[in-house]
Amino acid sequence: MGDTALLPVWWPGRFDPVDDSVTVLARYGKPGPDFWVADLNLSTLPKGTMTDWENLYGIHLRPDFMEGLPCVAANDFGAGRVILSYVHLETPASPQANQWLKHILGEVLGETITGGPIPAWDVASRPVVWEDPELMTAKAAMEEIITTGTSHFLLFWRNPWLLGWRRGIPGAGINSLYSLICESLANEPNDAALDFWRQNSPKFKVLMEILTNGLSGYLLAERLSMTVFHSSPDAVSTEGLREQRRALFGIPPEPGGIHADLAAMLEELYWLLFPHSAE
């Protein structure tokens, strides 16, 4: 890979102060062309914009302070060794990151890992193999939510598998639920998955209806707040919006609210859909 590589990272992940027992495998360098701060793609700003903002408003968005800090580290743990990474080496269509992940897996397993980079992932175009009625209803409901969000400039597709969102909008939670639903529908269920889903789908249905009904109203309230902010900043209660988000998604960065219960069920279902889980 050489001395540098273009690697996806969920900024601004940082490790605690360096421990002498830790080996730093990679450090942050300059941001790449797809670097975002909240809902701002820094590469799209005209040259000099960030300098102007710093001089006029005292706002510093450049990630300069990250340069040289560790982003991948390794250390001994018990009888083995661990690698900790803020870099998402598994990111689809990221050839340099994927190549490094193959190298790490090969070292751990003691064998050569073959194959090309992880292909681009189009969540919405995943085939429907398992036409479960509750999951199909949930997929349609989440697509309606995403349409509402994109129509009102709260959400947008950064790429076919990752939503972008206006600052403060729970886009990551929306993205994770939709992806888990689409991927579950794209797999043939085995006995273990079917048994789990028979027991949990009634609860899933109730919670999903509560979430989607509440989320639609919440997103529209956020849009109204943005629209009237300059003329009537107190028209929509900021605390009320915060409480709605807390009930639906918890408080970042920890998952919570109804979303946490739904995600837990979908993650367990998705795990069971793999053949090794049924053995």
Q: What are the pLDDT digits (tens) for 174-224? A: 999 999 999 999 999 999 999 999 999 999 999 999 999 999 999 999 999
pLDDT score for 234: 75
How far is the CA of 94 from the CAs of 34, 91, 124, 143, in angstroms?
A: 12, 6, 20, 26
CB 73 within 8 A of CB 23: yes
Reported confidence tier of residue 12, pLDDT bands at 50, 70, 90:
low
What are the tokens at 18? 């360096």
Give the CA-trace dihedral at 267, 87, 160, 184, to 10 degrees.
-10
Helix axis angle, 238-249 to 191-228, nearest 10°: 170
Q: Tens of pLDDT along 122-161?
A: 999 999 999 999 999 999 999 999 999 999 999 999 999 9
The mean per-residue pLDDT over the stretch 5-30 comes to 83
3-state helix, strand and coil shares in percent for the chain, rounded to the nearest 5: 50, 10, 40
- Strands 70-77 and 155-159: what pairing? unpaired
pLDDT digits (tens, 9 = 90+) for 68-122: 999 999 998 899 889 999 999 999 999 999 999 999 999 888 888 888 888 889 9
Residue 278 pLDDT level (bands cut at 50, 70, 90): very low
CA distance 207 to 247: 12
pLDDT: which is higher, 45 or 265 = 265
Is 266 a residue whose pLDDT tops 90?
yes
pLDDT band at 279 (very low <50, low <70, confident <90, very high): very low
Q: Is the pLDDT of residue 63 over 90?
A: no
Q: What is the mean pLDDT of residues 243-252?
A: 92
**Which among 144, 169, 270, 259 has a CA at the least distance from the CA of 208?**
259
- In this prediction, residue 149 carries a pLDDT of 97
> How high is the pLDDT of residue 146?
97
Q: If you ran DSSP here, which 8-state letter would residue 73 be given? A: E
Provide the whole-model pTM. Answer: 0.87
The CA distance from 219 to 223, in Å, is 6
For the cut 50, the answer to whether the pLDDT of residue 6 exceeds it is yes
Please tell me the predicted confidence (pLDDT) of residue 21. 81
What is the reported pLDDT for 1? 54
pLDDT of residue 17 exceeding 70, the answer is no
